[in-house]
Amino acid sequence: MSEFYKLNPSLKIAVTGGSGFLGKEIISMLLNIGCEDIISIARKPQHHYSKSKIKSQSADISDYKSFSKYFKGVDVVFHTAAKASIWGKYKDFYNINTIGTENIIKACIENNVPVLVYTSSPSVVSSASNLENVNENIPYPEKFFSFYAKTKALAEDKILTQSPSLRTIALRPHLIWGPDDPHILPRIIKKSHAGKLLRVGEGSNIVDLTYIKNAAFAHLLAAETLLSSKKLSGKAYFITDDSPVNLWDWINNFLLQIGMQKINKSISEKNALIAGKLFEIFYSLFNLSSEPPITVFSALQLSHSHYFDISAAKKDLGYHTIIKPDDALQNTVDFFKSKLP
């Protein structure tokens, strides 16, 4: 796939969240095109890079002094680090997602880093309504239904409106999935095993997905674009597999292909929203840190359509899918089948 890339392998590159699902894939792609001067920054020690050329550094992005020195001489920063969860304390989300991003911007400017590619999320425009083929003109909602969405929106706004000395692009990949996915698919499998997987709503909602290699590819394209011109700096782009699916049909197909049963239980959107609100009240009242079975945000996400017009990413960044949906699904099915007992 190296023929898709124009990124100069002699660049010095830093990746925040380098031990995460997306961060690891970006680093893998950089290595494949010959990049050798790569710094991976993460909160915890990154033992998986101990025998590679990667310079791994442990740091907390909410603490400016713990990481800013690593940006010296860097040409491109990929900022993928975030606190991503449907539940938690606002302060924790704000410190990592918003303050952390402010610190990344500051470190880039003070170290004269020319390019910053930020991993945002379509959650920044999520609301109580369906999002059907919307583009980047859609504004942030007046009300957010999760701390993650709110703090990512605050961070994205800072990315897009910061000092003109730093070239930035914010990418909004939707529902990143694929082999080694530590979030979405393991959750589905775990709930299915426990008999707790419910279809939320009527089951007709259409959603976009983004295969991990396609998401990482978009990040490299954004860096190439910013290095060649500052014309598109300060813009946000939706990124998807460009092939919306019926969410529940897709989940059932995945489960069947890995040898598990289809979903046979359901809950109405109305009841899911009521349950989500009651769980939020209960978990807040007793200061519980564990994740509720459902929240208002997750109920809305699971029952509503959310798919996006990616014409701007195609036109401006030259984005296209490098792995097609059928191949992506087969790769993922093979991986998770190998992990099942």
pLDDT tens by residue, 227-249: 999 999 999 999 999 999 999 99
**Per-residue pLDDT at 3 exceeds 70:** no
**Per-residue pLDDT at 2 exceeds 80:** no
pTM of the model: 0.95
> What integer pLDDT is reported at residue 341 of this predicted model?
73
Interatomic CA distance for residues 178 and 211, integer angstroms: 6
> What integer pLDDT is reported at residue 340 of this predicted model?
81
Residues known to be catalytic: 148
> What integer pLDDT is reported at residue 48 of this predicted model?
66
The mean predicted confidence, pLDDT, of the chain is 94
Report strand pairing: 167-173 vs 235-239: parallel
> What integer pLDDT is reported at residue 47 of this predicted model?
66
Q: What is the pLDDT of residues 40-87, one digit of tens each?
A: 999 876 666 655 678 889 999 999 999 999 999 999 999 999 999 999
CATH number belonging to the domain at 9-181+209-240+308-322, selected among 3.40.50.10490, 3.40.1050.10, 3.40.50.970, 3.40.50.720: 3.40.50.720
What's the rounded mean pLDDT across residues 165-188? 96
In the block, which residue shows the tokens 């969860």?
Answer: 85
In the block, which residue shows the tokens 């590819």?
Answer: 217
Interatomic CA distance for residues 174 and 59, integer angstroms: 27
Interatomic CA distance for residues 226 and 137, integer angstroms: 21
> What integer pLDDT is reported at residue 138 of this predicted model?
97
Q: What is the pLDDT of residues 21-41, one digit of tens each?
A: 999 999 999 999 999 899 999
Contacts with 291 (C-beta within 8 Å, 6 or more apart), sequence order? 85, 86, 87
Q: What is the pLDDT of residues 265-297, one digit of tens each?
A: 999 999 999 999 999 999 999 999 899 999 999
